[in-house]
């Protein structure tokens, strides 16, 4: 910490902006002038969303230089990697959220953006007593950060929206927790037939990506560790089915780790006083064609009865993103989109929206960078982009790029400033937004690896230690990856998730939740 303070002080003393003022004013003190200068030019940044990208941007943007307003229907940040745990009671909902309050916050959804008038149209709900009404209003911006994320996509399959659960928000996790407990409670009712019990206790997870697999692992833990305290007689009847349209699970992981995950998930469960049982099966190459209140139908003609179903099969663009693409120069936008990222807002390597005149920035799941390898829709990408953009606009540049003596402790690449032509803050920002690419280094994603929890105190970690050769999007690109699994992977998984919490409060709460669950088990109260 003392080193960090010294670094910060040193970097502010050698800020090139000070140099310029000293040259022009012949060595007179410049602090007051500089502050006045900046004050006059204070711009208004409107941030849409309170997710990973926005939260990271807000941590890094200098609020002395900008007026920042956040618009989002959600007044808190959610640590999404722990939503699966929250949906079975491994951690409390409150422990993985953090309110957004240090800047001006408007609880509303953006409905459209007028890029000519630089205004965001919003809708909110205002209530007095039991009467609620919809309120519509506009918010003007000098610069806009479009970070609204993505939505769960149903691929137009009938019944998915009506009958399955999603796992994206805290509200979804609460609903899932209640649905699981309700299935067990219904199966415990008198006069239930065998067929009814089997149906109630069949949990179907559609999508075998990291979200689907982690949810399955948490559900299995709940059944193994706490099931016998509440529903001992029912346990051997429980069936968990992971359904996947492709031929593999956990696509981003190497084969060895996929197999490890499969063997953990399909393990036989032994609980004293309960016959051994193996509740989980993975069904590959199964495409869902329709969902009804009782059945999931597949394209091959099969069907599966279920008590609760989770849809974790992919994400797609929000209508607001699609309409902004059309509002901007649609053709330019479409040309910028890679084959993998249809429907996402095209940005340049400095995160400026293509066709947005340098006024609009975008990051995270709603955007894709043109002319660069496709970046996955992950929290890791969104938060690195948020940090990059926050620092970029806050003018936190590296002074000496050649030696990479960045003034920041961040892992992100340094931002380049043209030292021969020092400019005022506003000039620099203007030239940056006009496309003067010399001013700042483009965003570069630093791949820190991927993690997945696989249940019963084991997890997978895959860390890239050396890049492959050639094109990272091609099949032949073969980087060197370190694979960690089992208890070691679990230790790493827990440590990283604690380290990544947004505040010390969340670190304490999550740790206490883990201890609580170890000592007293999960809470199954229906809320």
Q: Does residue 458 contact residue 487 with C-beta atoms inside 8 Å? A: yes
Q: Is 375 in the site for ligand FAD (CB under 6 A)?
A: no
Helix 52-60 vs helix 379-394: crossing angle, to nearest 10 = 30
- Per-residue b or e along 149-188, where b marks 16 or more CB atoms closer than 10 Å to that residue's CB: bbbbebeebebbeebbbbbbebebbebbbbbbbebbeebe
Between CA 374 and CA 390 the distance in angstroms is 22
Q: Residue with CB nearest ligand FAD? A: 51
Q: Is 50 in the site for ligand FAD (CB under 6 A)?
A: yes
Q: Is 390 in the site for ligand FAD (CB under 6 A)?
A: no
Which residues make Cβ contacts (< 8 Å) with residue 426, sequence separation at least 6? 37, 41
Question: Where in 287-326 is the site for ligand FAD (CB under 6 A)?
Answer: 318, 320
Which residues make Cβ contacts (< 8 Å) with residue 469, sequence separation at least 6? 477, 478
Question: Where in 423-452 is the site for ligand FAD (CB under 6 A)?
Answer: none
Of the two residues 252 and 256, which places its CB atom closer to ligand FAD in the complex? 252
Question: Strands 280-283 and 239-243: what pairing?
Answer: parallel
Q: Is 212 in the site for ligand FAD (CB under 6 A)?
A: no
Q: Is 223 in the site for ligand FAD (CB under 6 A)?
A: no
Determine phi and psi for 159, rounding to 5 degrees.
Answer: 90, -15
Question: Binder to ligand FAD among 60, 69, 72, 458 (CB under 6 A)?
Answer: 72
- Region of 17-25, 69-77, 136-144, 225-233 interacting with ligand FAD (CB under 6 A): 69-77
Of the two residues 80 and 165, which places its CB atom closer to ligand FAD in the complex? 80
Which residues make Cβ contacts (< 8 Å) with residue 5, sequence separation at least 6? none
CA dihedral 342, 344, 350, 354 (to 10 degrees): 80
- Region of 59-67, 178-186, 334-342, 362-370 interacting with ligand FAD (CB under 6 A): 362-370
Q: Is 501 in the site for ligand FAD (CB under 6 A)?
A: no
Question: Binder to ligand FAD among 30, 164, 380, 406 (CB under 6 A)?
Answer: 380
Between CA 279 and CA 275 the distance in angstroms is 12
Question: Binder to ligand FAD among 58, 71, 235, 262 (CB under 6 A)?
Answer: 71
Question: Binder to ligand FAD among 20, 38, 65, 168 (CB under 6 A)?
Answer: 168
Between CA 362 and CA 334 the distance in angstroms is 16
Question: Binder to ligand FAD among 58, 83, 201, 389 (CB under 6 A)?
Answer: 83
Q: Is 378 in the site for ligand FAD (CB under 6 A)?
A: yes
Min separation Cβ 481 and ligand FAD, Å: 16
Alpha helices in 307-378 (DSSP H): 319-327, 330-336
Tokens 């006024």 — which residue?
Answer: 359
Question: Binder to ligand FAD among 58, 68, 84, 288 (CB under 6 A)?
Answer: 84
Q: Is 355 in the site for ligand FAD (CB under 6 A)?
A: no
Question: Binder to ligand FAD among 58, 60, 81, 221 (CB under 6 A)?
Answer: 81
Select from 409, 417, 392 the least CA-distant residue to 15: 417
Contacting residues toward ligand FAD, per CB under 6 A: 48-54, 71-74, 80-81, 83-84, 109-110, 147-149, 167-168, 210-211, 318, 320, 364-366, 377-380, 382
């Amino acid at each position: 910490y003392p080193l960090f303070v010294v670094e910060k002080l040193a970097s502010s003393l050698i800020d090139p902006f000070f140099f310029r003022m000293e040259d022009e004013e012949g060595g007179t003190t410049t602090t007051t002038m500089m502050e006045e200068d900046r004050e006059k030019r204070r711009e208004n940044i409107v941030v849409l969303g309170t997710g990973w990208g926005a939260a990271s941007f807000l941590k890094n943007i200098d609020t002395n230089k900008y007026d920042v307003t956040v618009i989002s229907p959600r007044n808190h940040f959610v640590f999404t990697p722990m939503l699966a745990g929250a949906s079975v009671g491994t951690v409390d909902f409150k422990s993985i959220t953090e309110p957004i309050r240090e800047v001006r916050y408007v609880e509303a959804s953006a409905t459209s953006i007028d890029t000519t008038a630089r205004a965001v149209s919003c809708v909110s709900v205002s209530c007095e007593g039991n009467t609620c009404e919809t309120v519509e209003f506009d918010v003007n911006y000098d610069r806009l950060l479009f970070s609204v994320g993505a939505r769960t996509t149903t691929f137009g399959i009938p019944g998915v929206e009506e009958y399955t659960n999603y796992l994206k928000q805290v509200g979804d996790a609460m609903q899932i927790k209640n649905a699981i407990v309700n299935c067990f409670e219904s199966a415990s009712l008198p006069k239930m037939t065998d067929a009814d019990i089997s149906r109630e206790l069949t949990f179907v997870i559609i999508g075998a990506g990291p979200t689907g697999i982690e949810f399955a692992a948490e559900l299995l833990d709940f059944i193994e560790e706490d099931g016998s305290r509440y529903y001992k007689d029912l346990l051997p009847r429980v069936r968990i089915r992971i359904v996947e349209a492709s031929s593999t699970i956990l696509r981003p992981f190497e084969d060895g780790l996929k197999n490890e995950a499969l063997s953990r998930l399909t393990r036989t469960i032994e609980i004293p006083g309960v016959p051994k049982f193996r509740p989980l099966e993975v069904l590959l190459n199964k495409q869902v064609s329709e969902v009804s209140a009782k059945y999931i139908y597949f394209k091959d003609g099969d069907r599966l009865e279920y008590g609760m179903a989770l849809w974790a099969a992919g994400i797609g663009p929000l209508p607001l993103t699609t309409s902004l693409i059309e509002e901007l120069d649609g053709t330019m936008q479409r040309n910028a989109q890679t084959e993998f990222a249809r429907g996402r807002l095209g940005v340049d390597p400095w995160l400026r929206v293509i066709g947005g005149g340098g006024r609009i920035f975008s990051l995270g799941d709603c955007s894709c960078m043109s002319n660069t390898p496709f970046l996955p829709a992950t929290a890791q990408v969104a938060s690195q982009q948020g940090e990059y953009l926050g620092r970029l606009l806050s003018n936190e540049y590296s002074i000496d790029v050649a030696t990479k003596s960045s003034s920041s402790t961040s892992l992100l690449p340094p931002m380049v400033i043209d030292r021969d032509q020092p400019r005022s803050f506003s000039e620099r920002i203007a030239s940056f937004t006009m496309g003067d690419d010399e001013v700042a280094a483009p965003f570069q994603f630093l791949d820190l690896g991927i993690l997945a929890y696989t249940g019963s105190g084991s997890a997978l970690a895959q860390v890239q230690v050396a890049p492959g050769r050639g094109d990272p999007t091609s099949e032949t690109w073969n980087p060197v990856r370190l694979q960690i699994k089992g208890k070691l992977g679990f230790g790493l998984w827990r440590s990283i998730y604690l380290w990544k919490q947004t505040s010390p409060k969340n670190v304490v709460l999550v740790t206490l939740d883990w201890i609580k669950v170890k000592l007293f088990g999960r809470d199954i109260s229906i809320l």
